[in-house]
Copies of this chain bind each other. A is one copy, B any other.
Amino acid sequence: MKNNENVPEIDSLLDKYKRGNVLVKECPSRRVLQSVTSRWGVLVLFRLRKGTHRFSELRRQITGVSEKMLSQTLQVLENNGFVLRIAHPVIPPHVEYQLTPNGQEVAMRVEELVVWIELNLESILSDQKELND
């Protein structure tokens, strides 16, 4: 470590390089990207674009998701500041989830990707190669 010169400019360059570059393993942006593009993350963001939803609504609308995965996914998105969790202090519990401003921004872009795929599914499927055994 001592024979490695600690040149300020290099540190600064490295920081800049790492700040917003998903191609760099250590860059935080890659973590954020993964939370957004995670298996259930995409679908939750996509669904919340339509507006506020309760836990059980999301659970029913996103076919195949388990309670555990949904709750976990929502927590990650909440921790990243994309989803807002609003718990009404009533019995039985009533919790609503909605997008934050940043959440709106990413969800908008996620939606464009999703919608393109949905609309072009036939074209995509016809291009797919057969995977025999």
> A residues touching B (Cβ–Cβ < 8 Å)?
19-26, 28-29, 32-34, 36-39, 42-43, 46-47, 61-64, 78-81, 100, 102, 105-106, 109-110, 112-114, 116-125, 127-129, 131
Contacts and interface: CB of A to CB of B under 8 A. Distances in A.
Contact of A43 (B22, B36, B78, B123): B22
12 contacts: A22-B42, A22-B114, A24-B63, A32-B121, A33-B114, A36-B117, A79-B131, A81-B129, A102-B124, A105-B116, A106-B116, A109-B113
Nearest to A118: B20
A21 B105 CA distance: 22
A125 B25 contact: no
A64 B32 CA distance: 16
Given A33-B117, A116-B106, A28 B81 contact: no
Contacts of A110: 113
Task: Count chain B CB atoms within 10 A of each CB in A39, A43, A64, A127 and give the residue with the most.
Answer: A127
Given A23-B43, A32-B121, 12 more contacts: A20-B117, A22-B114, A22-B117, A22-B118, A23-B47, A23-B62, A24-B63, A29-B121, A33-B113, A102-B120, A102-B123, A113-B113
A21 B81 CA distance: 27
